[in-house]
Amino acid sequence: MMLSEKKVIVGVTGGIAAYKAADLVSCLRSEGASVRVVLTRGAQEFIRPLTFKALSGHDVYHTLFGGPDPLPHITLADKGDVLVVYPATANFIGQAASGLAPDLLTTLLLAFKGPVLICPAMNTRMYTSTVVQTNLRLLEERGLVIVPPETGRLACGETGPGRLPPPDTVMEMIRGALLKKDLGGLTFLVTAGPTREPLDPVRYLTNRSSGKMGYAVARAARDRGARVILISGPTALTEPPGVSVVKVTTALEMRRAVLERFDTADVVVMGAAVSDYRPKGVREEKLKKGEPEITVTFTENPDILAELGKNKRHQLLVGFAAETGEIPVHARKKLEAKNLDLVVANDICQEGGGFEADTNTVCLAFRDGRFFDLPTMSKYLVAHRVIDAVLELREEETGRE
């Protein structure tokens, strides 16, 4: 359990979504975290302290003055590894941005030195207002993590951005906030998902890639402090918060998006399953049925990674290789042919690995011939092992300079 022994402070402010905080506290506890809850006055209009007392197993903090502890903000600040405000109202965000401290939660925010996550939730017009956006940007510039709200139907009946993300999303951000920031100052360019190659206005050629591995690399790099650009083919996955996502469809679009950003990248992880071929010339009209047989001619797509390999300067290049049989041999060949630094190879025939799964069984092939088999694990943990390997390579390189 990644959060066991971790001390999490949950601040709840007075929005309709405050009821979701009960679920968050329960999820945190089930992962072994110790949780303290701070309620603002507004929050208590929506949900009673008793709920949180029962769920956290501790008294709830709601007042700066008159409680049993004369300095609750300092006691709490020393007690927490991470502070998450879920939900955060426009009022709280405004106070936090201006450094005001009229109550326990805002005072605690000033005294707390660990990572802070703010989860805004409010009416769309309030959320998109210039003042709220400016305040959020200010908080972000000061190092607080803003977990963007989801777009959907809001309590007021309107539809738009402002919905509080579910506890799962925030749990992931909390885990990430507690990781060592060993990628600070580095830019990761990550590709993910399949590409889609049109045949006519309604049909296309694609493959079974779900994008989960590439998205996991993007999330893991983000959690370790990297600036992450994720170039994604069409997937059903939600955009990871804190990552700048560029959506593309075809291999040619992906190539352009990657090349445009290659200079700014320190590390490129090509997790996308780029289609090797595209139908030659997209038909303008829908292909009609009635022919007993048709022939489609394919043109080869550019190999993006091979092109990066030819032009790389300071960048470390990581490629993926989905193979069957003789994995080490294929991995080495790919590494040399494309001038890569690391190849993450997986046997697509093996159980626990492959396309739509949440787990993967991979091996890592290095330039100098080293080769490691990793056990089956979640794609997020595989991503961390890949990043560990990248850091090792960077250290070796700086040692040589």
The residue among 170 and 272 lying less far from ligand C5P, judged by its C-beta, is: 272
CA distance 297 to 271: 27
**CA neighbours closer than 13 Å in the CB half-sphere of residue 49:** 13
Q: Are strands 342-347 and 362-366 parallel, antiparallel or unpaired?
A: antiparallel
List the structure tokens of 312. 């790389």
Helix (H, G, I), strand (E, B) or coil at 135: helix
Helix (H, G, I), strand (E, B) or coil at 322: strand
**CA neighbours closer than 13 Å in the CB half-sphere of residue 251:** 20
Given 27, 119, 156, 349, which residue is catalytic? 156
CA distance 350 to 159: 44
Q: Between the CA of residue 188 and those of 34, 268, 291, 305, 387, what are the distances in Å?
A: 33, 6, 48, 15, 10
The CA-based dihedral angle spanning residues 367, 372, 378, 381, taken in that order and rounded to the nearest 10 degrees: -60
Least spacing, CB of residue 326 vs ligand C5P, in Å: 14
Stretch that binds ligand C5P, among 6-14, 92-100, 282-290, 303-311 (CB under 6 A): 303-311
The residue among 150 and 307 lying less far from ligand C5P, judged by its C-beta, is: 307
CA distance 128 to 73: 31
Who's near 71: CB < 8 A, 6+ residues apart?
A: none
Task: Tell me which residue has tokens 């008294």.
Answer: 59
Stretch that binds ligand C5P, among 3-11, 96-104, 283-291, 315-323 (CB under 6 A): 315-323
The residue among 4 and 297 lying less far from ligand C5P, judged by its C-beta, is: 297
Who's near 290: CB < 8 A, 6+ residues apart?
A: none
The site that binds ligand C5P (CB under 6 A) totals a number of residues, namely: 13
Decide: is 305 part of the binding site for ligand C5P (CB under 6 A): yes
H helix runs in 11-166, sequence order: 20-30, 41-46, 49-56, 72-79, 90-98, 104-111, 124-128, 130-141
Residue among 301, 315, 360, 361 that touches ligand C5P (CB under 6 A): 301
Task: Tell me which residue has tokens 């040399």.
Answer: 336
Q: Which of residues 331-360 bind ligand C5P (CB under 6 A)?
A: 334
Least spacing, CB of residue 395 vs ligand C5P, in Å: 23
The residue among 18 and 383 lying less far from ligand C5P, judged by its C-beta, is: 383
Q: Which of 75, 68, 59, 61 is nearest to 111 (CA)?
A: 75
The residue among 164 and 317 lying less far from ligand C5P, judged by its C-beta, is: 317
Decide: is 193 part of the binding site for ligand C5P (CB under 6 A): no
DSSP conformational letter for 61: B
Residue among 256, 303, 367, 381 that touches ligand C5P (CB under 6 A): 303
Residue among 274, 327, 345, 383 that touches ligand C5P (CB under 6 A): 274
Decide: is 321 part of the binding site for ligand C5P (CB under 6 A): yes
Clarify whether 156 is annotated catalytic: yes
Q: Which of residues 45-64 bind ligand C5P (CB under 6 A)?
A: none
Decide: is 320 part of the binding site for ligand C5P (CB under 6 A): yes
The residue among 81 and 276 lying less far from ligand C5P, judged by its C-beta, is: 276
Decide: is 272 part of the binding site for ligand C5P (CB under 6 A): yes
The residue among 199 and 269 lying less far from ligand C5P, judged by its C-beta, is: 269
Decide: is 218 part of the binding site for ligand C5P (CB under 6 A): no
Decide: is 188 part of the binding site for ligand C5P (CB under 6 A): no
Least spacing, CB of residue 320 vs ligand C5P, in Å: 4
* Residues assigned a catalytic role: 156
Task: Provide the binding-site residues for ligand C5P, judged by CB under 6 A.
Answer: 251, 270, 272, 274, 276, 301, 303-305, 319-321, 334
